[in-house]
Structure 1
């Protein structure tokens, strides 16, 4: 088949292509494919005063591409080379899927770096999401109120039961709200002792340090300075009224009861990022508060000690946390 060569002087109108004769270099068209669709004079040459209009079927492009592709495959087979695959829509889709897998592989290969970055951000406290200030204060207020109410109910029920002759201790008389001056010395000594033990454990017990850090970040990171007083005193007062002011005398006013109540106190401190190491620490602290209650027979001593220890721990953590953010 001989193909007309032109100087790109084609124009298209209503689906027909028009070739201006002034742009034709050769006018040989001896093919049955073109001949029936030629409008004008059939001759071996075209004058410069006429134009040649050729209607090309819409399937001509796809037929031509298929013909070229088959010729390429035949030529490649003759040369002994594997034929090149055209980038069909199906191939493009597969290529995109492969690219997606490659991206996923790259993402998974960089997982270690992402974990390290997350751990670094957790340590610096810069990108970890925490509950809002209002949520923390509301949760603390509601929980402390419920614990306080439960402690008051147990004390009142035990008082009524004792008056009725039941074989239980009157918790309201065994552990009273009395306060004497020497109680102040016991409170200060207890605060110093517990704060020193906590500081030492944070240095020598990594699991306890991580557990304490996670719990403190979740509760304290969004608070204002004055909020620390609320967060420190509400749990200190309500928890001591329940555990040392109600359960301790109810189980028996002795050191075994103090240890049992301390273990319950420690077990309830699991969760919210706090591990078993923190529960062990809370058990020890609960026993210390219980022992102070046995000595003083006053609920004011464990209440004040607990609240002040919470406040001291919160202030020290806030100082170290803000210092770490400043230097990071």
Structure 2
């Protein structure tokens, strides 16, 4: 059996220019897989059943919360796109690289995977332990590509707090999952079809 030399592996930050499409997708799916595993384990260690978090609620009120927050977030993003300088919103080109040439079906898949994995960890597990404020701080820190500029970091924090709020109001994880999915999907499609 061949041994793996872990000393050869080095972690370092890379810029968008150093990434190719394949490496970006591998990184995305690995991080989302880890997010899902950590979220599931955290919920289990809290002595809760992860399957109950994904039970579909009886009424449809949670959908109004989800769509309402989605409209609010997308409207705010549209306004900021008009009035905030582009360099203040720069994420290093990652979103553009991720969505610009991606087929629509793949944007849908990416948006769904990210929404489910991140909401399970952040709203389903972390918020249960620490509440929406500290969860939102962690959520903003995890989106490290925005930390170079205070505007997108503040936006990510506010969106996360909104997701936590609708989770508390509706009592179902599906409300923040749907919101997260709609926002990522619409912004991904805007990037995909935007003209330079």
Aligned to 1:295: 169
**TM-score scaled by length of structure 1:** 0.50
1:310 to 176, 184, 191: 184
User: In structure 2, do the counterparts of structure 1 residues 239 and 208 end up closer, same or farther at CA, with 3 Å as the change threshold?
Assistant: farther
Q: Which runs of 5+ in 1 are unaligned?
A: 1-127, 160-169, 252-256
What is the CA distance between 1:135 and its match in structure 2? 2.5
Q: Distance in 2 between matches of 1:222 and 1:273?
A: 25
Q: Distance in 2 between matches of 1:173 and 1:237?
A: 13
Aligned to 1:198: 77
Aligned to 1:31: none
**TM-score scaled by length of structure 2:** 0.80
Aligned to 1:214: 93
SS of 1:271's partner is helix
User: In structure 2, do the counterparts of structure 1 residues 174 and 249 end up closer, same or farther at CA, with 3 Å as the change threshold?
Assistant: farther
The answer to whether the 8 A contact 2:146-2:153 is kept is no
Aligned to 1:38: none
Aligned length: 180
What is the CA distance between 1:230 and its match in structure 2? 2.1
Q: Distance in 2 between matches of 1:208 and 1:286?
A: 23
2:25 to 121, 132, 137: 137
Which has a greater percent of strand? 1
**1:209-260 deviation per Cα after TM superposition (whole angstroms, max 9, x unaligned):** 5415733223223423322112211111101000000011112xxxxx2122
SS of 2:145's partner is coil
Aligned to 1:106: none
SS of 2:46's partner is helix
The structure with the largest alpha-carbon Rg is 1
Aligned to 1:155: 43
Aligned to 2:6: none
Q: Which has the higher contact order (CA 8 A, sep 6+)?
A: 2
Q: Distance in 2 between matches of 1:177 and 1:143?
A: 25
Q: Distance in 2 between matches of 1:217 and 1:236?
A: 19
Q: Distance in 2 between matches of 1:132 and 1:152?
A: 30
Aligned to 1:244: 123
Q: Distance in 2 between matches of 1:203 and 1:148?
A: 35
SS of 1:177's partner is coil
2:144 to 241, 245, 270: 270
